[in-house]
Amino acid sequence: MPEFTVEMSVRDYECDLQARVNNAVYQNYLEHARHLFLTSRGIDFAALTASGIHVMVVRAELDYRRSLRPGDRFKVHLHTERVSRLRMAFVQRIELIDSGAMVLDARFIVAAVNAKGKPCVVPQLEVLLDD
C-alpha cells in the first residue's frame, strides 16, 4: 500500500514561550493524520467505535529531531505495519515542506477490543497493512 501524506501548518497558539511547537501538540498532528488516513481508506472511526470495536494506542514512540515554529508548513507521512496477529503499527514522520528537513519520527502500536473487552482482529484494519 502506498504511503499516505497530509500537509499541515503550525498555528501560533500551538507554540510555547520559546516560539516552538509544544511537544504534546505533535501527537495531535499525528493523530489527525491517522484519522485522515482511515477516512481516505473508507474507515469511519466513529462507526467502528459505535459497533463496539474500540481501537486504541497501546504504545507511542516519538523521536524529536528539530522543532517546528509558527507558520512552518510540514508533511506528515504514514504507513502501516503488522506487529502481531492482534496489533498493528502506524509508522509516521514529520518533515518540513520547504527543506525536507526531518522533524520527528514516530511509531504508534494499536490494538482493538470488542464490546466484551476482549482483544480482537478488525477486518477493516487488516486491509491497511503493508505486509
Grid cell digits, residue 17: 514561550
Residues ≥6 apart with Cβ < 8 Å to 122: 48, 53, 55, 112
SS3 of 69, please? coil
Could you confirm whether 16 is annotated as catalytic?
yes
Identified catalytic residue from 12, 16, 98, 130: 16
**In whole angstroms, what is the distance from residue 47 CA to residue 86 CA?**
20
Distance (Å) of CA 8 to CA 15, 50, 76, 121: 15, 29, 8, 32
Please provide residue 98's backbone torsions phi and psi, each rounded to the nearest 5 degrees: -65, -45
**In whole angstroms, what is the distance from residue 42 CA to residue 77 CA?**
18
Task: Show which residues are catalytic.
Answer: 16
